[in-house]
Chains A and B, each alone.
Chain A
Amino acid sequence: MKAAKFFGSLLPLAMLLTLYTVARFRVDEIRADYSYRLHAAALPVSTEMMKAIAGEFKGLAADYLLLEAASFIGSKEKGTPGDWDAVARLLDQSSSLDPYFRSTYLLAQANLPWRAQKYSETLTILERSKKHLTWDWLPGFFMGFDYYFFLKDNFRASKELMEASKRSDPVSSISLSSWAARLASKAGQVSAAIDFLSSIYEKTDDEGTRDLLMQRIMTLRGAETLQSAVDSFVAQFGRMPDGLDELVVTGIIPVIPSNPYGRPFTLKDGTVEY
């Protein structure tokens, strides 16, 4: 009697659990399919308004916005420009809600310029972090990198690096200031850039970003090799070579290094261009 009652109630429960399990798996599939979920969305609200809404929960709101952005970035979706606008906005909102949050600028630097060409947005976030995290030299360092690498503004890059070197530990400080000095002077640019990029390369995890950096390093190495060949040509023959081919013909270098960007190296007014 009691056993019958027990099993009588167990059976519907087992059925319910089965139903729940099946439905749960189906819902998981459905949720994965919903394309609109995979789009990043950000509230079209100004950061000031955001602060007002978040009230005393600014830190929490910043965490949430960052999570929202990270979830899109992590999804390996290619994303439309609209999505990246949203991600940039999410990160911007998150960083203004909590400007001390390191994860925000790290995530922004690792993705926005590389995957979405959002340079000024990245710089805004880095600038904010730099202002608040007075002990952290990374934001400044990244800003220097962005100015140099993406915006090709060596002067600003050198300035940022110089500032960053003042904050950093003694070891990094030396290389930072030397890069800064060499970037500013035309002569040492290429070798400074190679060192600079290599140090970024060491700090990067993302494969795509590493590939991009390696390409740039290879290019710079090629340019460096060619430049020194040109210099020795000038020392040997007392004139400029007519073209890069002449370096090979005269046997100063065995081959012209290939440019990973597909564009061949050229010689213009005694400087190797790439």
Chain B
Amino acid sequence: MEQIWLLAKITYKEGVRNRILLGVLLVALLFSAFNVIFSQMFAHDLSKVSVDLGLSTVSIAGLAVIFFMGINLLARDFEKRTIYMVLSRPIARWQYVVGKYVGLSLMVGTAVAILGLFTAAGVKTSMLMAPNFIPQNYSWLVFAAAVCFSLLSLMIITALAQLFTCLATSSYIALLVTACAYFIGQNVELVRKTLLDSAEVNRYYAIMIEGITWLFPNLQAFDMKTAAGYGLPMNTVSLCWTAVYGLSYIAITVSLSVFFFQRRELT
């Protein structure tokens, strides 16, 4: 346990001190400022637009952190062989995988927390400027839940990114495959729904789509931007199951990473 935490800590430090993170945060900050201006351009529902834009900023910045830094940090261990420095210690390979994952998640979590606060500030400003358009049931609790689930979805992508870096030989391929997984995850629900609704579908095609929905995470389930924007009521039990779904997906993905990493030759 201690070894995992140690590794998480240095991964986190290495990530947080990277300039890219600063850049991402800066861009996100600009977005938050832009948010206040942009949302005023809408005649109606402008606090909804503001929440939408803010939460999208959180997601996009989180994705940027994973794609520009997370994968880089993971792949560099193999490419620059910094992994020797870790694995020559009394640290088991599974501890390395878990520790690295925890460290990266912490890093993404920090970025999301900072951005979430900025976004909340931006939304608050928009609301103060146009108090008439605050949705009746607007609740900051739902907003916070939306941020948390956004983080969960980012953590799923991180786990997938780690799995792909353990499997692939180059960071470029890992990046590409992770991006594909992200797009599939975003659209899998829509595609499945459309297919199931239409009567005549090739049976094998339907089976394939069903298989894909089991392999890839349904990232739409974690997207609560609309609920946050309108302050729609959320069911606690549903939220819990969604969280369980996400967490078990992460656990399985990390287990798979361990499985493959244990067999990997570190030449």
Contacts and interface: CB of A to CB of B under 8 A. Distances in A.
Q: Determine whether A and B are in direct contact in the complex, meaning some CB atoms lie less than 8 angstroms apart.
A: yes
Interface in A197-218: none
B190 A67 contact: yes
Contact of A19 (B191, B220, B232, B244): B244
A24 B247 CA distance: 11
A91 B236 CA distance: 35
B184 interface: no
B214 interface: yes
A83 to B, nearest CB: 14
A70 B248 CA distance: 32
A255 interface: no
Given A27-B221, A36-B227, A71-B197, A20 B42 contact: no
Given A27-B218, A74-B197, A17 B245 contact: no
Interface string B227-250: 100101001001001101100110
A44 B43 CA distance: 10
Contact of A24 (B230, B232, B245): B245
B183 to A, nearest CB: 10
Contacts of B244: 19, 23, 26
Nearest to A12: B255
Interface string B161-181: 000000000000000000000
Contacts of A30: 221, 235, 238, 241-242
B193 interface: yes
A136 interface: no
B202 interface: no
Nearest to A73: B197
A41 B248 CA distance: 30
B252 A31 contact: no
Given A17-B252, A23-B241, A31-B221, A44 B42 contact: yes
Given A24-B214, A26-B245, A30-B238, A71 B252 contact: no
Contacts of B218: 27, 31
Interface in A1-31: 13, 16-17, 19-20, 23-24, 26-27, 30-31
Contact of B245 (A13, A27, A44, A71): A27
Contacts of A186: none
Contacts of B232: 36
Interface residues of A, number: 22
A13 B256 CA distance: 10
B4 to A, nearest CB: 16
A268 interface: no
Contact of A20 (B193, B220, B249): B249
B226 A31 contact: no
A41 B45 CA distance: 14
Contacts of A44: 42, 45
B197 A20 contact: no
A41 B221 contact: no
B197 A36 contact: no
Contacts of B249: 20
B79 interface: no
B221 A20 contact: no
A24 B226 CA distance: 22
A97 B221 CA distance: 28
Interface string B10-30: 000000000000000000000
A13 B255 contact: yes
Contact of A16 (B189, B214, B238, B251): B251
B267 interface: no
Interface in A28-57: 30-31, 33, 36, 41, 44
Given A13-B255, A30-B238, A31-B221, A70 B194 contact: yes
Interface of A: 13, 16-17, 19-20, 23-24, 26-27, 30-31, 33, 36, 41, 44, 67-68, 70-71, 74-76
Given A30-B221, A67-B194, A71-B194, 8 more contacts: A13-B255, A20-B248, A20-B249, A31-B221, A33-B238, A36-B227, A44-B42, A71-B193
Shortest Cβ-Cβ A-B pairs, 8 listed: A74-B197, A23-B245, A20-B248, A26-B241, A23-B244, A30-B238, A71-B194, A19-B248
23 contacts: A13-B255, A16-B252, A20-B252, A23-B242, A23-B248, A27-B221, A27-B242, A30-B221, A30-B238, A30-B242, A31-B221, A36-B232, A44-B45, A67-B190, A68-B190, A70-B194, A71-B194, A71-B197, A74-B193, A74-B194, A74-B198, A75-B193, A75-B197
